[in-house]
Amino acid sequence: MKIELVTDATAGGKKAAEYFLAAKQDGVKTFGLATGGTPVTTYAALVAGEIDFGDAVSLNLDEYVGLGANDPQSYAAYMQAHLFSQKPFAASYLPNGLASDLAAECARYDQLVAENPIGLQLLGIGENGHIGFNEPGTSFDSSTHLVNLTESTIKANARFFARENQVPRQALSMGIGTIMQAKQIILEAYGEKKAAAIKAMVKGPVTEAVPASVLQRHENVIVIVDPAAAAGLD
């Protein structure tokens, strides 16, 4: 793993956007995208820059079950607001959280990923070490699947909702096996709440108890962290 220490999330977003531009210039056609608080500065930097995704494809990591694109809390709506409305892709895909047959939706999404191999995947990390919505204990071989969110994730994400009981209890997420197929991975983390997860990811044993630790087995991972998130590293 290559560690990029930045002063703050704004600088980190600019750094991540530089990697996007380099990947694009290198011929990458498919970008794996993430939601949550962390990538906001990355999308702001991409929107402010010259990058053109008009010939590229995006595939998001995950979506809440039960929320459609018209719901402002859906990840589809988040992506529209932060990136797609200003930097449209030729095609953008997210799992469909309203699908009536969730197993079939997972299979459809895996097929999309197979048809559009991801050149660069953006990731955040949960305080419990999750990547995507792959909670501790998820198999490293997993493909897109239905997830029961843990209490810690529900609590962490409640800040985006008016009330905690509005946070969906389930999500569809690319699996860890899916994520590991990406040619290059950028993981961003900012703030002291992420320090323990970053330390476990970088220095701890590779274990399904810490999903992000699997990234030690990937040959092209860039970790962008601010000093607070890097506090447990040397």
First and final CA of the chain: distance in angstroms? 14
In the annotation, is 130 catalytic? yes
Q: Which token pair is 163?
A: 């009330």
Q: Binding mask 127-146 vs ligand PGA (x if CB under 6 A, - otherwise)?
A: ---x----------------
- Nearest CA to 172 among 116, 98, 73? 98
Q: With binding defined as CB under 6 A, does residue 59 bind ligand PGA?
A: no
Catalytic residue among 105, 116, 130, 188: 130
Pairing of strands 170-173, 62-64: antiparallel
Q: With binding defined as CB under 6 A, does residue 124 bind ligand PGA?
A: yes
Cα separation, 213 vs 152, in Å, equals 19
Least distance in angstroms from the C-beta of 168 to ligand PGA = 14
Secondary element (H or E) of residue 14? helix 9-25
Least distance in angstroms from the C-beta of 3 to ligand PGA = 18
CA distances in angstroms from 221 to 18, 27, 28, 92, 120, listed in the order given = 15, 18, 16, 23, 10
Cα separation, 2 vs 94, in Å, equals 28
Counting residues that bind ligand PGA (by CB under 6 A) gives 7
Q: With binding defined as CB under 6 A, does residue 83 bind ligand PGA?
A: no
In the annotation, is 135 catalytic? yes
Q: With binding defined as CB under 6 A, does residue 37 bind ligand PGA?
A: yes
In the annotation, is 151 catalytic? no
In the annotation, is 62 catalytic? yes
Residue nearest to ligand PGA (CB): 36
Active-site residue list: 62, 128, 130, 135
For ligand PGA, the binding residues (CB under 6 A) are 36-38, 124-126, 130
